[in-house]
Amino acid sequence: MTWQRRARLVVGLFLVAFSAIVYFAIRTRDVPARAGAPAERLDLAAASETSSGVWTFANGETAAFARLLAYGDGRLKAFTVTLRLPEEDGGLVTITAQEAEQREAKLRDALGTVDLSGDVDITTDDGLHVTTDAASYTGTDRTVRAPGLVHFERGRMTGSGVGAIYDRDRDRLWLLNEVRVAFSPDAAGRGALDVTAGAAGLARDEHRVHFERGVHIERADRIIDTLDAVVWLSEDDTRVTLVELRGDARVTRPGAVPAQPGDLASMQSRDMDLTYGEDGTTLERATLVGTARLDLAGERGAASRRIAAERLDLQVAPDGTTVTSLTGRERVEFALPAAASAPAQRVTAAALDASGDAGGLRTARFTGGVEYRETPIAKPGAAKPAERVARAARLDLALKAGFDAIDAAEFAGDVTFTDGVWRGEGPRARYAPASGALSLTADAASPALPRVADDRVTIDARAIDLTLETTRLEARQSVQSVIRARRATETTDTKLPALLAAEEAVYVTSGRLVYDGEAALATYSGGARLWQGETVIQADTITIDSARGNLSADGQVRSVLTLADPGSEGAPARTIAEGGRLEYDEAERRATYLEDAHLNGPEGDVRAARIVLHLAASGGELSRADAFDGVSALLERVYTVTGTQLSYLAAEGRYVVNGAPVRIIERKPTECLETTGTILTFLRSTATIDIVGTGGNRSQTRPVPCPERRR
């Protein structure tokens, strides 16, 4: 029929026109079909089928296929497809798939959106290889998107993820979920690395991989966890050069990996940068920022040593685990745990600078508001010791390798040191924790003298050495000591000699002081001088026994004692006593002057080989005075007496002198008279003299030349 012929003509013209449009639209260059029977149709719904061909676009991109189907709605479907996508730098991206479908028609300049499926393979000429089951490529933004499981590899790096985007313009490959990336070992068997993360981005041109959303990295000797991480690679993408961790960064050592003292045990901070050596596996440097903490391994079985700060920068020895340099800034804290024979120690400061060698850190300097705390180990059966606390502007530590222990600590700048009993302060201090030895020294730049004090004594000197364990102290040069007055309600085991009032402070100066805390002996030497009010004792050496209340002095002894004398009227008066040595026995209330002793006071002016003063129980009152051997006394400025022994009984005001013979010379206005005998008794109140003669005879009196007046 006529309408049927017309319909067939219209369809024929449409097919011719459509084929022409497709040809000119995509410039198809068909490969001639082989002679023989026509190919079997794949899809009867297709407007046309082409057995094989290559599409070439204006931008140089090509699409080769083994079979092409064209549909009336403009869709194109190809099989066994190869897309070749040239780059501006001369590189090439090749994408292959079993099937491809392009949604848009009439494209001349570039591919439109192409859906790829079946063994999709993306390869770059610099070694990146990506495979997946399905993907789409959009020519307008030059981007490949894959919704399913994706695998990739490049050199030693392989990985997988669920969902991926490859951006040709930015040269980026993003894995969107469930990412796993691994670096295989190099030829030497090093550098293996396994990473899991929520997402990842491979920036090939920048040689870095960005991991996001919970990152876990495992290396042979380290486990790394963080929220986000960037792994920077070498120019050939074969080695890790830098790892940047951002957010809750932690680096730990696997339990199976042994550690030597000073080795890196763990690191943690908000952010962290790890720099690796030429082999891509040996850690060279690390920077920790934001509540940073570094743990160094201790001795086998011991707890780790902790260093914390807002920022930590460290360098590592060639072994990749021994810290050789460390700096810390802001809120620095260094902590050593207690060990079998070492106390727990902690240092806080504003800044830390530590250095060492391949064996570990050897020195550490802390600056800015330094505080050192130490908790001594309690001895069996003893009370818990007080915490030792030191503060200074600067602290220098000498360390055993790897921060394992502190050999010595040197403090500088307004140093204070307390241990619950003693308090030390001064411009500089040196402390040895192992022995408990503390040395305080003056500084030429500071007028302040070091000081050590407890609740009873304050000691100032240019240099003070104190052993805290035994409370042994030595002070040198310009020693000044103050023994505090005892409060009325205070009870203490410390005793002062009764020569001194307990309710008043006692002052002592000397060139040197040695105090033995266990024996409670304080020895002042080198021009020692002790005083309290008008009471003064001077000698080359003065020793105070604060356990018994005894006192001794040696070498050019001179004392001024303020003593009440029951035999004299009026207030207590000064008694001056001198000799080569003074011994005071608190239990006996007895002061003995030896070696050319000399006594001058209300009792008279007495010289002898030995003079003994007996005090009353109150200590401030004279009870009796005795002189022995070669006695020579001037009494009441009138009577000169010589003998072998003199006794003065203060309550009676009576002198008794023995000798063989006893001689007394009375100075008269015009002459001097000498009387001799064996026993002389003189009563101060009445100036009465009684002399017993020699051999039962009466005493004899005769005029003699007057002796020189004593000064």
- For residue 109, give both structure tokens: 């300049």
> Is 469 within 8 Å of 436 (Cβ atoms)?
yes
pLDDT band at 113 (very low <50, low <70, confident <90, very high): confident
Q: Is residue 388, in this structure, part of any structural domain at all?
A: yes
Together in a domain, 190 and 130 = no
CA pair distance 579, 548, nearest whole angstrom:
23
Query: To the nearest whole percent, how much of the chain has pLDDT over 70?
Result: 89
> Is 485 within 8 Å of 505 (Cβ atoms)?
yes
Q: What is the mean pLDDT of the chain?
A: 86
CA pair distance 151, 174, nearest whole angstrom:
12
- Compute the radius of gyration of the chain from its Cα atoms: 52
Q: Output the CA torsion sign for 242, 248, 253, 256.
A: negative
Which residue would you say has higher pLDDT here, 653 or 18?
Answer: 653
pLDDT band at 377 (very low <50, low <70, confident <90, very high): confident
Q: Is residue 135, in this structure, part of any structural domain at all?
A: yes
From residue 552, alpha-carbon distances to 500, 560, 695 in Å are 13, 15, 42
Q: Is residue 247, in this structure, part of any structural domain at all?
A: yes
Tens-digit pLDDT profile for residues 73-100: 878 889 999 999 998 888 899 999 999 9
Together in a domain, 117 and 228 = no
pLDDT at 522 over 60: yes
Together in a domain, 251 and 113 = no
**CATH number assigned to the domain comprising residue 394:** 2.60.450.10
Identify residue 262 by its one-letter amino acid code. Answer: G
Together in a domain, 202 and 303 = yes
Cα-Cα-Cα-Cα torsion 201, 203, 204, 207, nearest 10 degrees, comes to: -110
Phi, psi dihedrals of residue 285, rounded to the nearest 5°: -145, 155
Identify residue 468 by its one-letter amino acid code. Answer: L
pLDDT band at 258 (very low <50, low <70, confident <90, very high): low
> Is 426 within 8 Å of 453 (Cβ atoms)?
no
Together in a domain, 107 and 220 = no
- Mean pLDDT over 196-223 rounds to 92
Give Cα 111 distance to the centre of its chain.
Answer: 65
Together in a domain, 303 and 213 = yes
Tens-digit pLDDT profile for residues 312-371: 999 999 988 888 999 999 999 999 888 766 788 999 999 999 998 888 888 999 999 999
pLDDT at 120 over 60: yes
Closest CA to 468 of 383, 388, 371, 523: 388
Find out whether the peptide bond into 86 is cis, omega within 30 degrees of 0.
Answer: no
- Mean pLDDT over 215-221 rounds to 90
Together in a domain, 111 and 226 = no
Q: Is residue 224, in this structure, part of any structural domain at all?
A: yes
What is residue 474's predicted lDDT score, i.e. its pLDDT?
Answer: 95
pLDDT band at 46 (very low <50, low <70, confident <90, very high): confident
- Mean pLDDT over 167-174 rounds to 88
pLDDT band at 491 (very low <50, low <70, confident <90, very high): low
> Is 463 within 8 Å of 483 (Cβ atoms)?
no
Phi, psi dihedrals of residue 591, rounded to the nearest 5°: -115, 120
**CATH number assigned to the domain comprising residue 53:** 2.60.450
- Residues contacting residue 658 through CB under 8 Å, at least 6 positions apart: 643, 644, 645, 646, 678, 679, 680
Domain of residue 13, residue span: 2-32+43-154
- If one counts the domains in the chain, the total is 2
> Given 351, 377, 404, which residue is the final one in a domain?
404
- For residue 189, give both structure tokens: 């068997």
> Is 499 within 8 Å of 591 (Cβ atoms)?
yes
Together in a domain, 134 and 193 = no
- Residues contacting residue 388 through CB under 8 Å, at least 6 positions apart: 372, 373, 374, 375, 376, 417, 418, 419, 420, 468
> Is 611 within 8 Å of 578 (Cβ atoms)?
no
> Given 137, 154, 171, which residue is the final one in a domain?
154
> Is 347 within 8 Å of 369 (Cβ atoms)?
no
Together in a domain, 146 and 255 = no
Together in a domain, 51 and 150 = yes
What is residue 340's predicted lDDT score, i.e. its pLDDT?
Answer: 67
Tens-digit pLDDT profile for residues 557-591: 999 998 887 766 667 788 999 999 999 999 999 99
- Mean pLDDT over 193-213 rounds to 92
Q: Is residue 55, in this structure, part of any structural domain at all?
A: yes
Q: Is residue 222, in this structure, part of any structural domain at all?
A: yes
- For residue 377, give both structure tokens: 């180990």
Q: Is residue 10, in this structure, part of any structural domain at all?
A: yes
What is residue 589's predicted lDDT score, i.e. its pLDDT?
Answer: 93
What is residue 401's predicted lDDT score, i.e. its pLDDT?
Answer: 65
- Residues contacting residue 612 through CB under 8 Å, at least 6 positions apart: 590, 591, 592, 593, 625, 626, 627, 628
> Given 404, 419, 445, which residue is the final one in a domain?
404
What is residue 689's predicted lDDT score, i.e. its pLDDT?
Answer: 87
Together in a domain, 107 and 15 = yes
Q: Is residue 139, in this structure, part of any structural domain at all?
A: yes
The structure's pTM equals 0.78
> Is 591 within 8 Å of 612 (Cβ atoms)?
yes
Tens-digit pLDDT profile for residues 592-626: 999 999 999 887 899 999 999 999 887 788 899 99
Together in a domain, 138 and 211 = no
